[in-house]
Structure 1
Amino acid sequence: MKSNIKIVYTFLLALAFISCSSSDDSNKTPESPYTQYGAPFDKMPKKEDAVIYQVNIRAFSQAGNLKGVQDRLTQIQELGANVIYLMPIYPVGKEKATGELGSPYAVKDYKAVNPDFGTLQDLQTLVEEAHKKNMAVVLDWVANHTAWDNTWITQHKDWYQQDPSGNIIIPPGTNYNDVAQLNFNNTEMKEAMIDAMSYWVYNANIDGFRCDYADFVPNNFWADAITKLRKIKKNQTILMLAEGSKYNHFASGFDYTFGFNFFYTIEQLFKENKSATTIQNSNATEYANVYDPANKVVRYTSNHDVNLSDGTPLELFGGKKGSIATFVVAAYLKSIPMIYNGQEIGYDKRLNYFAKTPIDWSAADTEMLSEYKKIIAFRNTSNALKTGEFTGYSSDAVSAFTMIKDAEKVFVLSNLTNSTVKQLIPTTLKGTWKDAFTGSSVTLGTDVTLQPFQYLVLKN
């Protein structure tokens, strides 16, 4: 009997060991055919600390390559950004291509660097140098569709959506004729997509992804991908930005969504002379179903799409002063700010990302650049702006709001018109403040007069 008890006891111990091992496996780094390149980035910004700088590689330098980005890392750092978001780095499809060079969002090969941009080693070096300057690097990821000459087309036709006649289709409801719609009901395709994303985390040590067209990719795919990607680096998180506005992106694991509604609102404010109170309404809409205060919306006054289709910030927001006054609101109103390369120097030409349109950095408006640096620098030091509670006090002409965190209070007033206006001050906000940029004392009475496109940022 004792012998039998020993056998049973040994068997139970073995089962317990196997059970523990199985449970532990869920937290282990997944097996991969890749070897990790580089060390974890130990200066990864917290979610609320991110300031994103979008790089259009074709436009960023005369060379239009990754080395051209590396050469200006110091300038990006001095601006105050800590996340560099690279537009797609992959080879571009030639079949049915749009524009002179084709769209960077028509991906021919998910696991290669566009030879026009350089090599994998160039990307590795760029990431290493950015890390040395305490900046993360994220890649643009196009999960919804591929170029027509992507090898997946010929090797795995069933990885794509098809019409009743068996023809691969373009993304439904679009005129994107240069790309083919992937089929997210196909498990093999989804596994290959996640493998391709992990390739860059391993082989280039990148820090995250900005996910293109995210609203049209199933959330269960994003949840699976994000879970697996975040197991790769044990001592570092992976930053995930959805180019989408669905609140359930947060449940899938995304850190940020895109402020489409916010941008449309500020654009209409200038186009159609809308009230500045609509900005508060937009903020309420974008955060309506966001229950975790750690989740944030990325807001911007320019990006590659609106720059090309709608215009530069100078065109859209009343010139130099108006564009700065609008950026203050975008950067400070419960947001993660994003800057598109060139806007910080007042670059007045649209950047066609289907061709090479290099920015002339020598044409920089140094006064404007100083304003951007000043605005971002204060955000980087203010917990109230990063994580505070928002209260709106806007009028038709002025976007006015407070951001409060613990004992810190910030009061922002930005005149978004080309007229001198008086803004009434609520009783609770009357009194003595400090100018957030100069430290000088500012006393608020019943009202304050703001010059055309003037903004004030005050702190207690």
Structure 2
Amino acid sequence: MKLRKIEDLFLTMLIFCAAIFFVSCEDKNNPATVPPGAESGTPFANVPSTENIIMYEVNIRAFSAEGKLRGVNARLDAIKALGVNVVWVMPVYPVGKLRSVNSPYCISDFTSVGSEYGTITDLRELVEGAHKRDMAVILDWVTNHTSWDNKWMDSSNWYTKDGNGNIISPPGTNWADVAELNYDNRNMRRAMIDAMKWWVTNANIDGFRCDAADYVPNDFWLEALSELNALEGRKLIFLAEGARSDHFSAGFQMNFSWDFYGTMKNVFRNNYSSANLFITHNQEYSKVPAGKRKLRFTTNHDESAWDATPMTIFNGKKGALAAAVIAAYLGGVPLVYGSQEVGVTEKVPFFSNAPINWSLNPDMLAEYKRILNFYNSSDALKKGMLEPFPGSEVNCFRKMYDSLQVLTMVNTRNYNVTYSVPPALTNTTWTNVFTGEVITFTDTIRLSEYAYLIMKK
């Protein structure tokens, strides 16, 4: 009996060691592989609340002739002058080489800065410079996939496989340059969360814009954002690139306003009634909890690279500015994609370097400053109750907060329009925000092509 017990114990130990060996072979990259690092800087004390955010997206490759982080740092004053308080920096990580198309969203290492952009020191200096100017910094983060030569490939069960055991690209996409991660694997999840924490503590960033968030399970987002929010002394911003309503319950403060963007294009390009903007706005916000926001934009890196810039989509400088007023003022977090403020007409790639000419259209830049800085100063626009008014060609709405009121009228057409002033506004007196002119409305008002009036009382 005693000999049998020894034999059983030996067999049990043998099985246990074999299991440990198998797991170690399959999961070679455990959370301990996240590189150590020291805390970098004091957590930023002035991270804006969601309702106060004005966001600016940086395409590093287009921002300067060198396409490096230092080129972004050099333009922080110009970004701040727009009224911006959150800077979203597109991916800073090394780009994979295997099957690559040079997309910055094809990441070979989640815990280092790609040499083409500079160093971790350069990123820390950028973050410190932004903080000194009262701007938070969020990094683009890719959780759905990696490059085919990412070091995580040593653990094949961290990836989604087909029936033959082959790692696959994300199904339903044409993203052949990346491999989809397997969120049934707990070790992969742990490593992903630890990598996100690493950037918060080692680069002193203030949150993440999470790429392709709709492709990642909600329970992962709930786990990851809960752990990140528990980091001591940190107030973090989370933006989901997606439209799922469960993003908000997981901890995201914002997600993308794709439907509103589509309606904007139809109104300006296809002469849809501007009343559709209110319909889409209400539909989007019917799924948004109190305190959360939709990100509103007239372009971003995808649209300006693959579709066209606002100068083309919204029919020139006047149309681009008119659309920007609606996107910023109707309700949501305004986004400016670096390039639109100077009216770039050519597409802006992000798989390659194509430096922006920052000297273009200074008059347009000045107008963006006026539009956004007024938004920044107006509690009525940021927090106010929306009162829409009828109109097919003119988008007209009032925002009210306490005793403050802001009235916005935008001609969405490339021709002059005579607008019938709603009865609620006739014989009311307002002050033009940008000119100081006092206006008392009668029954009609004439607006030139793509003209807008911003008034307060």
TM (normalized to structure 2)?
A: 0.91
Q: Distance in 1 between matches of 2:123 and 2:229?
A: 21
SS of aligned partner of 1:361: coil
- Match of residue 285 from structure 1: 283
Q: Deviations over 1:369-394 (max 9, x none)?
A: 11000000110011111111112114
Say whether residues 1:415 and 2:414 are aligned partners. Answer: no
Say whether residues 1:110 and 2:110 are aligned partners. Answer: yes
After TM superposition, the structure 1 = structure 2 runs for residues 238-249 of structure 1, keeping only pairs within 5 Å, are 238-249=236-247
- Match of residue 17 from structure 1: none
Please tell me whether the aligned partners of residues 399 and 416 of structure 1 are also in contact (alpha carbons under 8 angstroms).
yes
After TM superposition, the structure 1 = structure 2 runs for residues 354-373 of structure 1, keeping only pairs within 5 Å, are 354-362=351-359, 364-373=360-369
Q: Deviations over 1:251-283 (max 9, x none)?
A: 111111111111111112233221111111110
Q: Deviations over 1:314-333 (max 9, x none)?
A: 00001000100000000001
- Match of residue 188 from structure 1: 187
What one-letter code is carried by the residue in structure 2 that aligns with 1:96?
R
After TM superposition, the structure 1 = structure 2 runs for residues 197-208 of structure 1, keeping only pairs within 5 Å, are 197-208=196-207
- Match of residue 126 from structure 1: 126
Counterpart among 266, 269, 274 of residue 267 in structure 2: 269
| Structural RMSD (CA) | 1.2
What one-letter code is carried by the residue in structure 1 that aligns with 2:420?
L
In structure 2, stretches of 5+ residues that fail to align are 1-34
What one-letter code is carried by the residue in structure 2 that aligns with 1:259?
S
SS of aligned partner of 1:137: strand
Measured after TM superposition, the shift of residue 250 of structure 1 is 0.9
- Match of residue 395 from structure 1: 391
In structure 1, stretches of 5+ residues that fail to align are 1-31
What one-letter code is carried by the residue in structure 2 that aligns with 1:149?
D
Measured after TM superposition, the shift of residue 33 of structure 1 is 5.6
Q: Distance in 2 between matches of 1:158 and 1:459?
A: 59
Say whether residues 1:459 and 2:444 are aligned partners. Answer: no
Counterpart among 421, 427, 432 of residue 429 in structure 2: 432
What one-letter code is carried by the residue in structure 2 that aligns with 1:209?
F
After TM superposition, the structure 1 = structure 2 runs for residues 265-344 of structure 1, keeping only pairs within 5 Å, are 265-292=263-290, 294-344=291-341
Please tell me whether the aligned partners of residues 245 and 286 of structure 1 are also in contact (alpha carbons under 8 angstroms).
no
Q: Distance in 2 between matches of 1:319 and 1:434?
A: 28
Q: Distance in 2 between matches of 1:341 and 1:270?
A: 22
Please tell me whether the aligned partners of residues 94 and 107 of structure 2 are also in contact (alpha carbons under 8 angstroms).
yes
- Match of residue 350 from structure 1: 347
- Match of residue 147 from structure 1: 147
Measured after TM superposition, the shift of residue 126 of structure 1 is 0.6
Please tell me whether the aligned partners of residues 412 and 457 of structure 1 are also in contact (alpha carbons under 8 angstroms).
yes
Please tell me whether the aligned partners of residues 390 and 422 of structure 2 are also in contact (alpha carbons under 8 angstroms).
no
- Match of residue 179 from structure 1: 178
Q: Deviations over 1:323-360 (max 9, x none)?
A: 00000000001110000111101111211111111111
- Match of residue 92 from structure 1: 95
Please tell me whether the aligned partners of residues 40 and 233 of structure 1 are also in contact (alpha carbons under 8 angstroms).
no
Say whether residues 1:376 and 2:372 are aligned partners. Answer: yes
SS of aligned partner of 2:424: helix
After TM superposition, the structure 1 = structure 2 runs for residues 38-117 of structure 1, keeping only pairs within 5 Å, are 38-98=41-101, 102-117=102-117
Measured after TM superposition, the shift of residue 233 of structure 1 is 3.6
SS of aligned partner of 2:196: helix
Q: Deviations over 1:157-185 (max 9, x none)?
A: 10111000001111111111001011111
Measured after TM superposition, the shift of residue 429 of structure 1 is 1.9
- Match of residue 18 from structure 1: none
What one-letter code is carried by the residue in structure 1 that aligns with 2:257?
G
Q: Distance in 1 between matches of 2:446 and 2:203?
A: 52
TM (normalized to structure 1)?
A: 0.90
Q: Distance in 1 between matches of 2:62 and 2:400?
A: 39
Change (3 A) 1:346 1:200: same
Please tell me whether the aligned partners of residues 248 and 289 of structure 2 are also in contact (alpha carbons under 8 angstroms).
no
SS of aligned partner of 1:79: coil
SS of aligned partner of 2:333: strand
Measured after TM superposition, the shift of residue 440 of structure 1 is 2.1
Q: Percent identity?
A: 44
Q: Deviations over 1:224-267 (max 9, x none)?
A: 11111112242x31000011111211111111111111111111
Higher deviation after alignment, 374-383 or 384-393: 384-393
Q: Distance in 1 between matches of 2:357 and 2:315?
A: 22
Please tell me whether the aligned partners of residues 160 and 167 of structure 2 are also in contact (alpha carbons under 8 angstroms).
yes
- Match of residue 168 from structure 2: 169
Q: Distance in 2 between matches of 1:110 and 1:329?
A: 37
SS of aligned partner of 1:337: strand
Q: Distance in 2 between matches of 1:429 and 1:216?
A: 46
Q: Distance in 1 between matches of 2:414 and 2:242?
A: 32
Please tell me whether the aligned partners of residues 398 and 407 of structure 2 are also in contact (alpha carbons under 8 angstroms).
yes
Measured after TM superposition, the shift of residue 445 of structure 1 is 1.5
